[in-house]
Structure 1
Amino acid sequence: MTGTILNVVAILLGSALGTFLGGRIPDKLKQTVVSGMGLFTFALGIQMFLKTGNALIVLGSLVIGALLGEWWKIEDLLSQLGSWLEKRFNHANDEGEHSNYQRERFIRGFLTASLVFVVGPVAILGAIQDGISGDYRLLAVKSVLDGFASLAFSSSLGIGVAFSAFPILVYQGAISLLAAQVQAITTPEMMNEMTATGGILLMGIAVSGLLEIKKIRTGNFLPALILAPLIVALLSALGVQVSLP
């Protein structure tokens, strides 16, 4: 789990520096930086989506995943977690009361950063590589990128970004610990469809959380990341071949 620990430390350091510098950075500059991160995230999402060998698998994963996500109220649960963390750790104004703006800003920072850092093939592949062979180079690269991203996010969205380190620790850590089992059951086709589905989620994060074009309950699509490889496995069991791009 060395790579995951590095990733967590990078996010915490980047968030601390971004929060410290936030008051010294002009609002227009912060907005521009976050918009730049949004454009980059959207472009990265497109690149990831193009790895699909069958777009219908991605579509099916998203539709079923959205139904499950809405049923389980994943976005609401994440928001409640962010709200609890904000009340527990984030100090309010001098009167000891939390303004709606502070709470919404904290939750937005937590949700946006958590989804951006969790979604993507590097988190999965890097965690598997780290767990199997102890080679954490891929996660080290991700740590550098996440560190700069958390600096940019926290300068505009505040300390909530730092708490995205906890989902990273649980998610990547669990994959590393189960790496041998994960490697044994996954195929390149399964990973490609998971990557492509993650790309759609990244585009949703960019449109909703970063560019603020349209509100999308992106968290409710998270089950799609698990469904995509499961659909590939089901099709393979039925004798339907899923091609590589």
Structure 2
Amino acid sequence: MFPGFGTLVNVITVIVGSSIGLLLGHRLPQRTRDTVTDALGLVTLLIGALSAIEVTSAALSDAVGSSAPVLIVLGSLLIGGIAGSLIDIERRLEGFGVWLQFRFKAKGSQARFVEAFVSSSLVFCVGPLTILGSLSDGLGLGTDQLLLKATLDGFASIAFAASLGVGVMASALAVGVIQGSLTLVGVLVGDFLPDPHLAAITATGGLLLVGVGIRLLQLKAIPVGNLLPALVVAPLLVQLVVVLR
């Protein structure tokens, strides 16, 4: 295996799954597609909650104290959200989706394509498996996590594409860029992030996934894209607390 193999497999499963979903999509009634999207939203909430529970990690509590983990996650979301909203990452993601639709002459409404691209990109790229799996791949620790993620994403992309359309296939590009970049970071920095820092990233990423699930259920259009910098802020805050203790 070579660094990036897991990401390559992930990109392929998203493309193949999306193709299958597009073939099935027009044969499914709208109520069925809506139900599938709701089911994905609920499962995303479950995965997000299971990841967010890492805020109770013993490694994190030992490093920063028992009362600090929740405050670290809160601070990460606040600082990351302010930074992301100033940059307006959400709008830039949507703009990238519009450019992709124009570039590939995708059919269907622009809003539908953009929503499919943004939602599926966030689901495929925000989770802890994206970060931990890509870093592990880059560090030479194996591709097991990314291969598991590729399998999950493949099945999810079938359901997404069947209900949301061709914009889901475009998210394979986001998967390749983001996971490929994280794999490269793993190659360059080596075994850099200790367990407490990874736990903080996982817990913060879990809450972002909860936001994606709420968005998929159409309860509230949370701009999760603007919260993405929180994943960078989380380990920095952990390090700051460790230094100050």
Q: Is residue 88 from structure 1 mapped to residue 103 from structure 2 by the alignment?
A: yes
The equivalent residue for 1:232 is 238
C-alpha distance 200-182 of structure 1, shift in aligned 2 (>3 A) = farther
Choose which of 70, 77, 83 in structure 1 pairs with 2:85.
70
The residue aligned with 2:64 is: none
Aligned-partner SS, 2:55:
coil
CA distance in 1 between counterparts of 2:168 and 2:50 reads 25
Distance 1:195 1:134 in 2: 18
**What residue is the counterpart of 1:16 in the other structure?**
19
Deviation at 1:44, TM superposition (A): 1.1
**Distance 1:91-1:119 versus aligned 2 partners, 3 A rule:** closer
> Matched residues in 2 for 1:165 and 1:211: separation?
22
SS in 2 for 1:124: helix
**Rounded Cα–Cα distance in structure 2 between residues aligned with 1:77 and 1:149:** 24
**Aligned-partner SS, 1:178:** helix
> Distance between the aligned counterparts of 2:188 and 2:55, measured in 1?
24
What do residues 27-72 of structure 1 show as CA deviations (whole Å, max 9, x unaligned)? 1111111111100101111111111141111111101111111100
- 2:45 is the counterpart of 1:39: no
Per the alignment, residue 72 of structure 2 pairs with 57
Matched, 1:5 2:8: yes
Q: How much has 1:237 moved relative to structure 2? A: 1.6
Deviation at 1:128, TM superposition (A): 2.0
Deviation of residue 134 (structure 1)? 6.3
Report the TM-score, using the length of structure 2 for normalisation: 0.90
- TM-score by length of structure 1 reads 0.90
Does 2:226 match 1:220? yes
Partner of 2:177: 170
C-alpha contact 2:117 2:168 (8 A) present in aligned 1: yes
- Aligned partner letter, 1:42: L
> For each residue in 1:15-37, what CA deviation from the matched residue of structure 2 results, as whole angstroms up to 9, or x when unmatched?
11111111011111111111111
Q: What CA distance in whole angstroms lies between the structure 1 residues aligned with 2:125 and 2:80?
A: 17
The reply on whether 1:207 has 2:214 as its aligned counterpart is yes
Q: Secondary structure at 1:169's aligned position in 2? A: helix
Secondary structure of 1:25's counterpart equals coil
- Aligned identity (percent) is 42
The one-letter code matched in structure 2 to 1:45 is G
Provide the C-alpha distance between the structure 2 equivalents of 1:177 and 1:70, rounded to a whole number of angstroms. 27
Over the aligned positions, Cα root-mean-square deviation in angstroms equals: 1.4
After TM superposition, give the deviation of residue 203 of structure 1 in Å: 0.7
Q: Does 1:26 align with 2:14?
A: no
Q: Which runs of 5+ in 1 are unaligned?
A: 93-97, 240-245
Matching residue within 132, 140, 152 for 2:139: 132
Residues 25, 162 of structure 2: 8 Å contact kept? yes
Preserved contact between residue 106 and residue 166 of structure 2 (Cα < 8 Å): no
* CA displacement at 1:156 relative to structure 2: 0.8
| Mapped contact 1:175–1:182 kept (Cα < 8 A) | no
- Once residues 173 and 91 of structure 1 are traced to their aligned partners in structure 2, the CA distance between those partners, rounded to angstroms, is 25
Alignment of 1:113-132 (within 5 A): 113-132=120-139
Stretches of structure 2 that go unaligned for 5 or more consecutive residues are: 57-68
